[in-house]
Copies of this chain bind each other. A is one copy, B any other.
Amino acid sequence: MATTYQGDEALNRLLEEDKSAFDAAAVRDLIAGVLAAPAADPGDSWIVLAAPRAGNELTGQLAALKEEIASALGDPAPWSPDRLADLRAFLKDTGLNGIVVPRSDEHLGEYVAKRSERLAWATGFTGSAGLAVILAERAALFVDGRYTLQAAQEVDAALFEILPLAADNGDWPPGLWISEQLSEGAKLGYDPWLHTSRQVSQLGRAAEKAGAELTACPKNPIDAVWKDQPPPPLAPVFPLADDFTGSPSAEKRAGLAATLKQDGEEAAVLSAPDSIAWLLNIRGGDVPFSPLPLSFAILNGDATVDLFIDGRKLTPEAAASLGDGVRIATPDAFGAALDRLGKDAKTVRVDSGLSPAWISDRLKEAEARLKTGDDPCQRPKACKNETELDGMRAAHRRDGAALTRFLAWLERAVADGGISEIDAADQLEALRRQGDHFRGLSFPTISGFGPNGAIVHYRVTSASNRILEPASLYLVDSGAQYLDGTTDVTRTVAIGDPNLEMRDRFTRVLKGHIALASAIFPKGTSGSQLDVLARRALWEAGLDYAHGTGHGVGSFLGVHEGPQRISKLPNRVALEQGMVVSVEPGYYKEGAYGIRIENLVAVIPASVAGEAETEMLAFEPLTLAPIDLALVEPGLLDAAERDWLNDYHARVADEITPLVDDETATWLKLATRPLEDPFKD
């Protein structure tokens, strides 16, 4: 239906006929915002924003106009050194000797909108974590270990020193660099919207060491010189039904208001988009991989919310769903609202670890009574209710069916030969896409064969793409967003005959997975207390893995969420009933292969033989997909471990078989066959 755009005059007529509040100029603005969001899925859901009652002709014209604007925009320009020159000229004009450029937006989340890719704009580096410091004469880009190679490829080494983001001895290399490179009396600019207060203090101390000064920029200097910077994204915001959320927003707001009251607080400022989406039962698409609308909110003691959001992105259903308890204002009005909290001498909770320094600074200036505390949505959001858990279970059945079909296909396709990492990732996505409620991937698929599998955060490119061929291991870590839940699963598959070492390592990772997944633990236990269970079998062989063991996962929200985690690092957050976490021990042999076995699990009450003296919790596996038996060394499993694996596989077969084609079902039957005791005669 490739309609040609008929011009603004014709569009204005159609808009008027179909009772749109927009004229062509306003529609063009809207489309600019829509195009600043990641590609929506389905692609034309935005049209309702311009004209809720659009007929076929208007719909066609709007789609055509969007196409026209998109092709006029073209691909983003590649990085050029002119950008650095422009930025430095601007800094000089504004009396700054340098600027800090983090890879974060005003919401400090994992994924950012196109307009917030300031680090990539300034340096050329497109990784998901990093920090640049740009001074008049020198500049440095700090990246973590997983991005050293990529940064070297993408960034002009004549202009940027590439340095590690963290040091083993606990030093903070950007701070050291700043202390060394800044001259006395220099002014180093930063954008208080893009750092927490703690990060600002850290930067401040570094500048102070050099006798220099850290200065908050009233406007981000990159925004000032980035000529074709995309506008704020305008992905449609839609309501998520109570069937999925299990709790109306009014109920959540009343609950949190009671919490605030108990803590002697009269309001809480929310800047984390997943908190706001959870609280208001809305979803959107302003950033990749997470269904998040970007906005700010103030939760008031009377259970009402002031939501600072571009109203154009609210679908009529979303606007209606928010109801009387939620007042909509433009993002511009946010600062004044904080000032009002101060003027009214309110006691206001701010999560200093999650929110930008700008918010605390403004509240302090306004003389509000600032109380730092946890974002009040974080804990209740992490503890899924029964509806959410049922949704997660349903989403995991569909996701497991897609993954099982993929694994069955992979075995056949690899035998035929020529399957690459990209082919495999595409096939898996295509199979997932067929599932109900599918809303896109929950993160970029890690599809790594052989040595690429040993790169923990590997992301296949056409340059790195490998063919899956005997004999090594293929590691695929992937997940999807569904209206009823978010998934994240890793399976490692033998391609050809695995050698003894691979089977030994895989079985140790599996033992760790089982030990953690089958743990029974008292209420109050944190993830860090349990972490060792996943590592013990590796440690016994002098092996380990250099990443955390588990992260929280949202309900059709971020695939990484707090506050709980399972990790070597100390953490006092207890694992509570309803929390969903990943269990993902691994083993990586550099230059050879990688192994990871990841299921999501939900925290549930434990049943123990006899009477428990204290309230006990356990994990329920949510993920349903076979674990490659070709990689299991049965002699390394004890009876309880073997029982766990057999029970798990029986459950996978039970739940997934009805959802897959016959060919896959036949494959699955073999893939989930029970292991026998190797020592039994």
A328 within 8 A of B: no
Would B608 and A544 count as touching, CB distance under 8 A?
A: no
Would B522 and A539 count as touching, CB distance under 8 A?
A: yes
Would A614 and B544 count as touching, CB distance under 8 A?
A: yes
**Which residues from B are CB-within-8-Å of A463?**
none
A320 within 8 A of B: no
A408 within 8 A of B: no
Would B572 and A570 count as touching, CB distance under 8 A?
A: yes
At the interface with chain B, which of A369-377, A470-478, A527-535?
A527-535
Would A539 and B570 count as touching, CB distance under 8 A?
A: no
A158 within 8 A of B: no
Q: C-beta contact mask, A442-462 vs B, less than 8 Å → 1, else 0?
A: 000000000000000000000
Closest residue of chain B to A587 (Cβ to Cβ) is B613
**Which residues from B are CB-within-8-Å of A568?**
525, 529
Measured between C-beta atoms, what is the minimum distance from A574 to chain B in Å? 11
**Which residues from B are CB-within-8-Å of A522?**
539, 544
A42 within 8 A of B: no
A519 within 8 A of B: yes
Closest residue of chain B to A529 (Cβ to Cβ) is B532
**Which residues from B are CB-within-8-Å of A611?**
542
Would A528 and B609 count as touching, CB distance under 8 A?
A: no
**Which residues from B are CB-within-8-Å of A541?**
608-610, 612
Q: C-beta contact mask, A601-613 vs B, less than 8 Å → 1, else 0?
A: 0000010111111
| Cross-interface CB contact of A638 among B525, B543, B612, B638, cutoff 8 Å | B638
Would A544 and B613 count as touching, CB distance under 8 A?
A: yes
Number of copies: 2
Q: Which residues of A567-584 have CB atoms within 8 Å of chain B's CB atoms?
A: 568, 570-572
**Which residues from B are CB-within-8-Å of A542?**
520, 606, 608, 610-614, 616
Would A616 and B528 count as touching, CB distance under 8 A?
A: no
**Which residues from B are CB-within-8-Å of A519?**
536, 539
Closest residue of chain B to A570 (Cβ to Cβ) is B570
**In the complex with contacts A570-B571, A570-B572, A540-B528 CB distance below 8 A:** no
Considering only CB atoms and an 8 Å cut-off, how many residues of chain A contact the other chain? 33
A521 within 8 A of B: yes
Bound-state CA distance A520–B570 (Å) is 20
Would B539 and A520 count as touching, CB distance under 8 A?
A: yes
Measured between C-beta atoms, what is the minimum distance from A519 to chain B in Å? 7
Measured between C-beta atoms, what is the minimum distance from A373 to chain B in Å? 13
**Which residues from B are CB-within-8-Å of A531?**
529
Bound-state CA distance A612–B568 (Å) is 19
Bound-state CA distance A123–B544 (Å) is 54
Measured between C-beta atoms, what is the minimum distance from A531 to chain B in Å? 6
Bound-state CA distance A519–B525 (Å) is 21
Closest residue of chain B to A522 (Cβ to Cβ) is B544
Bound-state CA distance A536–B541 (Å) is 21
**Which residues from B are CB-within-8-Å of A638?**
638
Measured between C-beta atoms, what is the minimum distance from A252 to chain B in Å? 24
Measured between C-beta atoms, what is the minimum distance from A448 to chain B in Å? 20
Bound-state CA distance A221–B465 (Å) is 78
**Which residues from B are CB-within-8-Å of A536?**
519, 533
Tell which of A526, A532, A568, A612 has the most Cβ of chain B within 10 Å: A532
Bound-state CA distance A568–B610 (Å) is 25
Measured between C-beta atoms, what is the minimum distance from A413 to chain B in Å? 33
**Which residues from B are CB-within-8-Å of A533?**
532, 536
**Which residues from B are CB-within-8-Å of A606?**
542
Would A543 and B609 count as touching, CB distance under 8 A?
A: no
**Which residues from B are CB-within-8-Å of A544?**
522, 613-614
Q: Which residues of A508-525 have CB atoms within 8 Å of chain B's CB atoms?
A: 519-522, 525
Bound-state CA distance A505–B82 (Å) is 73
Q: C-beta contact mask, A587-628 vs B, less than 8 Å → 1, else 0?
A: 000000000000000000010111111101000000000000
Measured between C-beta atoms, what is the minimum distance from A595 to chain B in Å? 14
Measured between C-beta atoms, what is the minimum distance from A311 to chain B in Å? 42
| Cross-interface CB contact of A614 among B520, B543, B614, B616, cutoff 8 Å | B543
Query: Which residues of A are at the interface with B, using a C-beta cutoff of 8 A?
Result: 519-522, 525-526, 528-533, 536, 539-544, 568, 570-572, 606, 608-614, 616, 638
Closest 3 CB pairs of A and B: A542-B612, A570-B570, A542-B608
| Apart from the given pairs A529-B568, A532-B533, 15 other A-B contacts in the complex at a CB distance below 8 Å | A519-B536, A520-B542, A526-B570, A528-B528, A528-B529, A529-B532, A530-B532, A532-B532, A541-B608, A541-B610, A542-B606, A542-B612, A543-B613, A570-B571, A638-B638
